[in-house]
A and B are shown apart, each in its own frame.
Chain A
Amino acid sequence: MRVVIAAIQTPFIQGGAQYHILNLEKYLKFSGFDVECVTLPFKFFPEEYISYLMDFCSNLDFSDFSGYKTDIMISLQFPVYYINHHNKILWIMHQHRAVYELYHLQNKNPQLESLKKKIVEFDNKLIPLAKKIFTISRNVAQRLKRYNNIDATPLYHPPPAAESYYCKEYMPFIFYPSRLESLKRQDLLIKAFKYVRSPVKAIIAGSGGQEDYYKRLICSLKLEEKVALLGYISLEEKVALYAHSLGVFFGPYDEDYGYVTLEAMLSQKPVITCTDSGGPLEFVIDGETGFVVPPDPEIIAEKIDWLYFNQAKAINLGKNAKERYKVLIPSWQEVIETLIGNV
């Protein structure tokens, strides 16, 4: 059976999405499907390009390539989920966020205004044409319901290299690996260390646009001894840092899904997240597998100290997190059965 995956790529930008699609492709192949991934180049501006790409996609049909018929098309991303196919399965990572849940954060202009109108119209009309509609999280499904009144089923999946994670005796530091972007809010963790009383450190890994700002922030708060920005680290280092951390902070703004939560859970570590963090809220149970707190540095600091001063309980939170992962996250085999089954 031929499965075509329609995807987008933003050249040179690596993120969770790439791994997600690579793994989908890999496990479809393991399950015996004939798989090909077709990608279109995407960029966030100018708006005209996005608009052009939407028209282009909505006029494409992937059912047939020069006589090679494809049985199923799976698409996860805007705007390639507008591409037509007689057996279209959507597993939506997110819609075009700038015109939905992040719209209030944008600089408004007429182009964006008209793009928003067009996207809502396309989403409303074209998404329901799919045979099945999944989202990668409940959060994404709820947005689809709220903004477009479309019902979708959340379908979780394991993070990349899920089998690599392990747990070791911890050292006194809080770990936060993520791209250094404002939506990831590493500054919440940095600011929290003004209030941390225990000898715990913060280790922040990753690179990105906010690197300079975070560096300056650490300097101005005189936290050089407390907070370290590691920059890019290898997978092995990341896994080892998870394994030895006291706990993980993951407090982004309205995350779609968030591999960090799952990676922490696989490493048996409690996660401190925020009430407005989106995806992580589906996994973290306050006081059981970690903490859900308002995005307030002082309260975050309180929880960090609590983890340090309540070792045994902190370890238990981690154990609970691992158990919860087992309950919530299906294996890739199960994911593929759910995606493709009965089509």
Chain B
Amino acid sequence: MDINPTEVSVEEIMRRIREEVRRRKKMLARQEQMSEEGPSFQPSSVKLELEDLFFSSEPLDISQTSYHLRDFLKYHDREFILNAYRGILKREPDPEGLEYYLRNLRSGQMSKVEIIGRLRFSPEGKSKGVKIRGLYLPLAFALSYKVPVLGYFSRLFVGIGNLPIIIKNFEQFEASQYLRWQELQDRFQRNREKISSAFSDLGRQIYSFGEKINLLKRDIEARPRREEIEERFENLHLRLEDVLASITHLKEVQNAFEQRLSSMEEDSREKLSSLQEQLAGEVQVLREALEGRVPREEIEQRISALMRQIGNHKRHIVDMERRLLILLEEARKRLPEPISEAQIREMLKEEDHFLDALYSSLEDRFRGTREDIKERQRVYLPYVKEVLEKVGGGLVLDVGCGRGEWLELLKEEGIEALGIDINRLMVDQCQELGLNVIEGDAIDYLRGQKSNSFAVITGFHIVEHLPLKKMLALFDECLRVLKPGGMVIFETPNPENILVGACYFYMDPTHRNPIPPETLRFLVEERGFTDIKIIRLHKYSDYYSVDTQNPIFNQLFYSEMDYAVLAYSPKL
């Protein structure tokens, strides 16, 4: 222990103190943890001195083959016999032998010399042949003691002769025994002290043990009973099952989420690349525009001028339609001669076209953008390709092709296709796009075709425009001109969706009646098509954000807005 001679500030003292407190807290926490594992009971380690005093003399060297009698005689009692065996017979005594000689030695029946002699001259002793100097004479005397009468004198004779030695030995023996006795007493005293201090230690420990037991007892009393535990366990088990179910559900959700994520990723990658292309195109256009040094304002002005012009033209056309109609009417009334049949047909034909412009505008307004339509129609490509493969190729006919989105899609996919539409404006539009389209009435056209002419015939939003007779005629003609295994696709609004059936269907005033899917299926089946499939498409909620909590409401209002019937002509 030393004191720092220089000054130590209170801050320094407190720093060291806090450091120590931290250290000790850690240590105590460890101890606490250990003691919580059960009451620690440390038996006092009492080391008592218990070594046998009587065996403390130097052990006999048993490796020798020659001894002096003295070597053995210096041992006493049990140790004497042990060493005699070890020296003479080179082994540990058997229990019977030890017991026998010890009894005889202690009772005075045999002297040490006689025991040595008996061991040495036993068959075993002879075979070992250990040499013992100074044995023969004493042995002779010792044995002679056992001869009656002579024994007494012989013992007396030897006894008197040996008296000084005996006295000396006896004194030595007494002195050594006294020393041993002294040491034993000291040892006894020391052991007694150790034991008594161990006992008082034990007492303290038992007391603290008692404290711990009392604490434990209270602890145990405070614990819930078995039934309670079982009930809790049961509850826990149920909850565990719930948790497991939730985990499974969560996994499913996660999987779905991951799938969606990856598809979204793909999607967005595609979109990004198409956007990039688009952007690159636009940049190119812009660059060209810039190179042409046409100022932006001028372009905008030109565009708006064009728009105005288009509007004017449109109004003008509508007006002309109206006038033409009146003119035709007037002409019919005033013609001096009856109009020939051909003239009438020609005129009626013209009349048929007077709604073309209106329908074209209607389509533009309500049908959706060109890209949307194309995107939606992609769903049919796999069916078409499958059929083409099966029937060994062939032409796809699109009945009422309208603005030609589907034809364009087929062209992009490298599928040969032909469109037919009754609307002249639309046909013009399609032809401008380089699509293979003819103007005319579909049923009339089909009637003029040979059977086995087409692999696939499609009609998007056509059948709802037709009266039943025409519709059936269309189906019949289709079945006739299709190759065996060929397919028709007719897409139409789905009145299962209440919004469609009640409202959207009538956005197009040229629509007749909504056709429920099962009705359409029945009709095509009835006319001889097979393998009929209904595909419901264009879920409201895929296009508009809606609350998806109420399933019935969703089914009625937000389900698929269109459906298609896919039907096959029977194979041969």
Query: A315 is contacted by which of B1, B4, B5, B211 (Cβ under 8 Å)?
Result: B1
A185 at the interface (CB under 8 A from B): no
B17 at the interface (CB under 8 A from A): yes
Question: Is the pair B24, A169 in contact by a Cβ cutoff of 8 Å?
Answer: no
Question: Is the pair B214, A308 in contact by a Cβ cutoff of 8 Å?
Answer: no
Question: Is the pair B21, A237 in contact by a Cβ cutoff of 8 Å?
Answer: yes
A333 at the interface (CB under 8 A from B): yes
Question: Is the pair B8, A203 in contact by a Cβ cutoff of 8 Å?
Answer: no
Q: Which of A125-133, A170-178, A298-306 binds B?
A: A170-178
Contacts of B16 in A (CB 8 A): 171, 244
Question: Is the pair B10, A234 in contact by a Cβ cutoff of 8 Å?
Answer: no
A240 at the interface (CB under 8 A from B): yes
Query: A333 is contacted by which of B2, B21, B207 (Cβ under 8 Å)?
Result: B207
B18 at the interface (CB under 8 A from A): yes
B7 at the interface (CB under 8 A from A): yes
With A and B bound together, what is the CA distance between A177 and B10 in angstroms? 15
Give me 15 A-to-B residue pairs in the complex whose CB atoms sit less than 8 angstroms apart, sorted by A's number. A170-B1, A171-B3, A171-B4, A171-B13, A173-B13, A199-B5, A199-B8, A201-B9, A225-B9, A240-B17, A241-B17, A243-B20, A244-B17, A308-B3, A333-B207
Question: Is the pair B10, A173 in contact by a Cβ cutoff of 8 Å?
Answer: yes
With A and B bound together, what is the CA distance between A173 and B8 in angstroms? 9
Question: Is the pair A237, B8 in contact by a Cβ cutoff of 8 Å?
Answer: no
Question: Is the pair B21, A228 in contact by a Cβ cutoff of 8 Å?
Answer: no
B6 at the interface (CB under 8 A from A): yes
With A and B bound together, what is the CA distance between A236 and B28 in angstroms? 11
Known: A172-B3, A199-B6; 17 extra A-B contacts, CB below 8 A, are A29-B214, A29-B218, A30-B214, A32-B214, A169-B2, A170-B1, A172-B8, A173-B8, A173-B10, A199-B5, A201-B13, A203-B14, A228-B14, A236-B21, A241-B17, A311-B2, A315-B1
Q: Quick one: closest A residue to B211, CB to CB?
A: A30
B365 at the interface (CB under 8 A from A): no
Interface residues of B in 508-536 (CB under 8 A from A): none
A interface, size bucket: 20 to 34
With A and B bound together, what is the CA distance between A244 and B5 in angstroms? 16
Query: B210 is contacted by which of A30, A230, A234 (Cβ under 8 Å)?
Result: A30
With A and B bound together, what is the CA distance between A225 and B7 in angstroms? 11
Q: Quick one: closest A residue to B19, CB to CB?
A: A240
B223 at the interface (CB under 8 A from A): no
How far, in Å, is A25 (CB) from chain B's closest CB? 13
Q: Count chain B residues whose beta carbon lies closer than 8 angstroms to a beta carbon of A.
A: 24
Contacts of A241 in B (CB 8 A): 17
How far, in Å, is B393 (CB) from chain A's closest CB? 93
Q: Quick one: closest A residue to B25, CB to CB?
A: A236
Interface residues of A in 171-206 (CB under 8 A from B): 171-173, 199, 201, 203
With A and B bound together, what is the CA distance between A308 and B5 in angstroms? 10
Contact with A along B9-41 (1 / 0, CB 8 A): 110011011101100110000000000000000
Q: Quick one: closest A residue to B204, CB to CB?
A: A331
Contact with B along A1-40 (1 / 0, CB 8 A): 0000000000000000000000000000110100000000
How far, in Å, is B211 (CB) from chain A's closest CB? 4
Contact with B along A59-96 (1 / 0, CB 8 A): 00000000000000000000000000000000000000
With A and B bound together, what is the CA distance between A35 and B4 in angstroms? 51
Contacts of A29 in B (CB 8 A): 214, 218
Contacts of B13 in A (CB 8 A): 171, 173, 201, 203, 244
With A and B bound together, what is the CA distance between A50 and B364 in angstroms? 100
Contacts of B18 in A (CB 8 A): 237
Highest count of chain B CB atoms <10 Å: which of A171, A173, A203, A228? A171
Contacts of A308 in B (CB 8 A): 3
Given known A236-B24, A240-B24, contact A228–B10 (CB-CB < 8 A): yes
How far, in Å, is A190 (CB) from chain B's closest CB? 14
Q: Quick one: closest A residue to B207, CB to CB?
A: A333
With A and B bound together, what is the CA distance between A237 and B19 in angstroms? 10
With A and B bound together, what is the CA distance between A199 and B2 in angstroms? 14
With A and B bound together, what is the CA distance between A172 and B21 in angstroms? 18
How far, in Å, is A31 (CB) from chain B's closest CB? 8
Contacts of A225 in B (CB 8 A): 9
With A and B bound together, what is the CA distance between A32 and B211 in angstroms? 9
